[in-house]
């Protein structure tokens, strides 16, 4: 009997010189579940490509690096998809993620279950806390409107990424006894996509998004298809947040974030033109307030360094 295809690992790099080696090594630690690796470089200005090539030479992985212009996160994944040469479930993994050994096999098993569109696993920050984007709710009009206006001033319990675990429902148990949890949404930093949901013949992320928001849109698409997003409750992998986008966000990243708020609202939550005008204005005010805060913070930092 023919064996099932494994996974094709896709990653979009942008100035990830400091993190890409760790990601490649973590893929190698999961090599038994990976048929192919496609790394797209989205116009890095550092040594990302050289470091990635050096890291790949040191491991046994069938891999290709595809140089590209900076077409954003979703655009980079489209470039990666067009470069796939084998069939398999799609493993989307950020270049600043280090996968725990055995993670890909568990994600692959979960993604093969009937009715499952996306499987993910816990991601922890460098300080050991869980990445809040791993377990999220899908934004509602009320919550998204409040967040567009208030941002981080919004009470944590009301944010879409503040999920109370005791309110999540259990999912199926995997063959080795690993339990799963059903979540509404997760982060694009780590997703195993079922072939029945997205494949090498289908655009992975919605190209209306440049960066940010495309992962929430994908999870919403899964829900609309009546399919589940599963969190596989295994050992956490590490996510070095902000390696590509900057932390705090650069102006370009901040602009992309606010554009994503607008795009998600218009595609999924818009009810009428008047409401759209109000929401668009609120998002723009929030962007300008965010840049003002960043400018003031940079000035304070500069004064402290004098």
Give the chain's mean pLDDT.
90
Residue 75 lies in a domain: yes
Question: 155-186: per-residue pLDDT in tens?
Answer: 666 566 666 666 789 999 999 999 999 999 99
Question: 114-170: per-residue pLDDT in tens?
Answer: 999 999 999 999 999 999 999 999 998 877 666 656 666 666 665 666 666 667 899
CATH number at 109 reads 3.90.550.10
Residue 163 lies in a domain: yes
Q: Lowest-confidence range among 15-24, 48-57, 159-168? A: 159-168
∠ Cα 244 101 181 (to 5°): 80
Residue 117 lies in a domain: yes
Q: What φ, ψ does residue 135 adopt, rounded to 5°?
A: -125, 110
- pLDDT given for residue 250 in this prediction: 83
Residues in contact with 101: Cβ distance below 8 Å, sequence separation at least 6, in sequence order: 26, 29, 30
The domain tally of the chain equals: 1
Q: Where are the alpha helices (DSSP H) in 177-271?
A: 214-224, 251-268
**pTM of the predicted structure, to 2 decimals:** 0.90
Question: 203-251: per-residue pLDDT in tens?
Answer: 999 999 999 999 999 999 999 999 999 999 999 999 997 665 555 678 8
Which residues are paired to 37 by β-bridges?
A: 9, 63
Q: How far apart are CA 182 and CA 7, in angstroms?
A: 22
Q: What is the domain extent for residue 232?
A: 7-242
Which residues are paired to 94 by β-bridges?
A: none
């Amino acid at each position: 009997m023919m064996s099932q295809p494994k996974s094709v690992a896709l990653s979009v790099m942008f100035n990830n010189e400091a993190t890409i080696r760790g990601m490649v090594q973590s893929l190698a630690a999961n090599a038994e579940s990976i048929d192919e690796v496609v790394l797209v470089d989205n116009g890095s200005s550092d040594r990302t490509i050289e470091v990635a090539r050096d890291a790949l030479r040191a491991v046994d992985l069938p891999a290709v690096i595809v140089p590209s212009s900076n077409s954003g996160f979703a655009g980079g994944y489209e470039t990666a998809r067009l470069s796939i040469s084998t069939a398999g479930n799609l493993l989307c993994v950020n270049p600043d993620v280090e996968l725990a050994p055995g993670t890909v096999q568990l994600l692959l098993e979960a993604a093969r279950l009937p009715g499952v569109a996306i499987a993910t696993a816990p991601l922890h920050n460098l300080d050991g806390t869980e990445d809040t984007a791993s377990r999220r709710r899908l934004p509602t009009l009320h919550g998204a409107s409040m967040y567009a206006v208030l941002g981080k001033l919004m009470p944590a319990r009301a944010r879409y990424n503040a999920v109370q675990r005791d309110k999540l429902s259990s999912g199926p148990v995997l063959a080795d006894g690993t339990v799963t949890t059903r979540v509404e949404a997760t982060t694009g930093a780590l997703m195993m996509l079922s072939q029945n949901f997205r494949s090498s013949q289908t655009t992975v992320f919605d190209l209306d998004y440049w960066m940010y928001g495309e992962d929430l849109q994908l999870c919403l698409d899964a829900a609309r298809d009546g399919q589940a997003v599963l969190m596989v409750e295994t050992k956490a992998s590490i996510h070095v947040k902000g390696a590509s986008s900057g932390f705090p966000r650069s102006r370009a990243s901040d602009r992309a974030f606010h554009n994503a708020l607008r795009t998600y609202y218009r595609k999924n939550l818009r009810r009428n033109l008047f409401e759209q005008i109000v929401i668009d204005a609120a998002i723009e005010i929030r962007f300008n307030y965010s840049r003002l805060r960043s400018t003031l913070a940079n000035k304070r930092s500069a004064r402290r360094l004098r």
